[in-house]
Amino acid sequence: MMISEKMQSTLNDQINEELFSSYLYLSMSAWFQSINYKGFAGWMKKQSTEEYEHAMKIYDYLHEVGADVSLDAIKKPQASWKSPLDAFKDALKHEKHITECINKLADLAVEEKDHATNIFLHWFVTEQVEEVGNATDIVEKLKMIGDNPAGLFMLDGQLGHR
Ligand code: OFO
């Protein structure tokens, strides 16, 4: 195996984080669907698929370096939110948490002089800038819209075209 035991176990933990992200956004998608915001639901469903792909990138990398994949139980996600703003605020909070996880992984790679894993993680570092940026953008728009139904209707339509 080309990576340390500690790196192997931390990357496996990250697979679980990414799968939970996928699960959380799928749960948000189902909730948006249940209250008839089809655009928000579509956006979240797409996000859920992307998160599954993040998990698979790590899954493939572990195999590539001769390490073992070990899958853990996925936490039950929250099932309902107070408002679209509430849901997207949670998504933003979650992305900030994921950024912290990725940064810790990158710190570990540097500490261990694990250049291969360090370079592998660059994609995730860049991706997190985008993910936090997107979520922040939507939270800010939802704050501006407030309770205005026309505004919500428009943003729902816009995000449906993602
Ligand atoms: Fe949302 O970027 Fe992965 O978790």
Q: For the chain, give me the number of helices (H) and strands (E)?
A: 5, 0
Q: pLDDT exceeding 70 applies to what percent of the chain?
A: 100
pLDDT tens-digit readout, 60-106 = 999 999 999 999 999 999 999 999 999 999 999 999 999 999 999 99
Give the CA angle between residues 54, 56, 60 to the nearest 5°: 125
Q: Is the CB of 54 under 6 A from ligand 1?
A: yes
pTM: 0.96
Residue numbers of the chain with a pLDDT score lower than 70 = none
State the CATH architecture for 5-159. Answer: Up-down Bundle (1.20)
- The verdict on the CB of residue 156 being under 6 Å from ligand 1 is no
CB of 94 within 6 A of ligand 1: the answer is no
Domain ranges, ordered by start, for the chain: 5-159
Q: Which atom of ligand 1 is nearest to the CA of 128?
A: 2
Task: Give the tokens for residue 45.
Answer: 């469903």
> Measured from the CB, is residue 51 less than 6 Å from ligand 1?
yes
Nearest C-alpha to atom 4 of ligand 1 is from which residue? 18
Q: Is 98 in the pocket of ligand 1 (CB under 6 A)?
A: yes
Q: What's the confidence (pLDDT) of residue 135? A: 98
Cβ 5 vs Cβ 69: under 8 Å: no
| Dist. CA 82–CA 68, nearest whole Å | 41
Give the ligand 1 atom nearest the CA of 51. 3
Q: How far is the CA of 16 from the centre of ligand 1 (A)?
A: 11
Asked whether 18 lines ligand 1 (CB < 6 A), one says yes
* Ligand 1 contact via 21 beta carbon (within 6 Å): yes
